[in-house]
A and B are shown apart, each in its own frame.
Chain A
């Protein structure tokens, strides 16, 4: 029977060493506390008991009546046991109450001869694992129970913290999945590590298909700037923003507005790149459609202006010319005596001539015929002469385009930009002079229109240079005309004047002069 208590040895020597040297003395180290039977404990059992003590396991052995037979030092601490508690029912110990339902658990183990195990919350709030195994006697009968108690509070707390972290990650991950944007995390070698649902929807690849691939190879990325340059900006500046073109699973090209940010570990080392892509393909297509529509409208406007100009010039103008000729004929055949009729006729001729001049002027402004048959320089000379007469703004014109004429659309574009720029100078700058310079160098036409006026306010200038904004249909029209030619417009302005620079490459062989 199990009676007595394992008393910790005072010696620090190992039990095995002791056993080899003086096995009997070992036995003597166990003091008899209840009965003589304990004296017959074998040296092996002593060794096991010592081993248990040394491995710092909290163990209590109770008999069938739940009386404490022995316990280890660790159990002594947990249950606040004293040597005098040997033989007392464990249920009588005040300390036992700290574990709920301990008695029923021991009785169940003894009664069912099966191991019972559960985790219990100590009344002090610490978690313990209690394992109750039936203690089998030599006759394979249940003689009591062995309680093994372990403080698992740290593990429980760590597990709880871990669960909380996992839950938090899961919540964050869910948020990333909820985002409509494509969110991709890749490592420093651009291997995809995370691929949210937004990316799945945008690109048509599942996370399983995408993760593990090198992102720019996988998406066949077309960069808006050289890859090395972009890489340098990202790793030196910590982030990169721009537009990229990707291919979806179906091969469709999409444009994304991409923002990429470096991720660092606790030591500041770059561990990955967070890439957030917003599919702007529809917006880009809409913008392109709008630009094409604008270009088409400009073309239609030009065509309509030309049609009206020709109609006025060739039809109305000719009729007025015929009228003047007829009136002149009447006047020529009139008797010299009829001075009153002659005066009326002269007035009628004068009115017809004025109407004819006005029709011609209107026609020329709508579409200068000189632009067609005499070329840009003549058309500009004509326009600037009229502009100066009306506005009193003196304009210096220099055209150096070589011996060949530009194409019709190129000449028309330059003419319209000069026309618009000079109108703006007259309306807004207050300048008394302006200069227009058109040159052709290395296949690039450069137009500069400069004034010495009051300049453009910085905020308006920024808006004009960014997009034209709502600030001027004229500027937008200029940009649109130039865009069709692959050119661009820049506006420079200070308080002492403004310069509009338009450049474009000539696209086709210049046509010969005259037509």
Chain B
């Protein structure tokens, strides 16, 4: 069985590094590349044909929500998981509209493996805490 090809897109090196460590615990998954912004994401996706893309939202040059439809256009079979700090129903809606198959808060990273497994089977995964409470 071929390894699951994963592309990591996040402008924070620490996050990319942590993700690589976490995903490497699954020997059958392959990190094919790391992009630091939306522009790189489109290029790497076009070149590397990943099956799953972990996409941050807020990045320099081009954000994840802007890059997602272009990535989907270049690689229609790729499933995109929005992996972000932003806890917002509005943003979840925007992510779906852009073509993302999943939405996960970074603080809920312990659900990441489950989310990738779902997407690898072309199942949607949308999980996040409720919107934060006002003080």
List residues of chain A with CB under 8 Å of any chain B CB: 313-314, 317-329, 331-333, 349, 352-353, 356-357, 360-362, 364-365, 369-370, 373-374, 378, 381-383, 385-387, 389-390
Contact = CB atoms under 8 A, between A and B. Distances in A.
Contacts of A352: 107
Contacts, number: 115
Interface of B is mostly: helix
Contact of A360 (B25, B87, B91): B87
Nearest to A385: B131
Nearest to A419: B134
B15 A374 contact: no
A362 B85 CA distance: 13
A43 B95 CA distance: 138
A389 B135 CA distance: 10
Given A322-B18, A386-B133, A389-B133, A328 B110 contact: yes
B109 A328 contact: yes
Contacts of B106: 317-318, 321, 324-325, 356
11 contacts: A319-B14, A321-B109, A328-B109, A332-B22, A374-B90, A378-B90, A386-B131, A386-B134, A386-B135, A387-B134, A390-B135
A315 B85 CA distance: 11
Contacts of A324: 106-110
A76 B62 CA distance: 125
A325 B15 contact: yes
Contact of B12 (A322, A369, A383): A322
A332 B21 CA distance: 10
B25 to A, nearest CB: 4
A263 to B, nearest CB: 63
Contacts of B15: 318, 321-322, 325
B37 to A, nearest CB: 14
A381 B131 CA distance: 10
Contacts of B26: 332
B110 to A, nearest CB: 4
B48 interface: no
Nearest to B15: A322
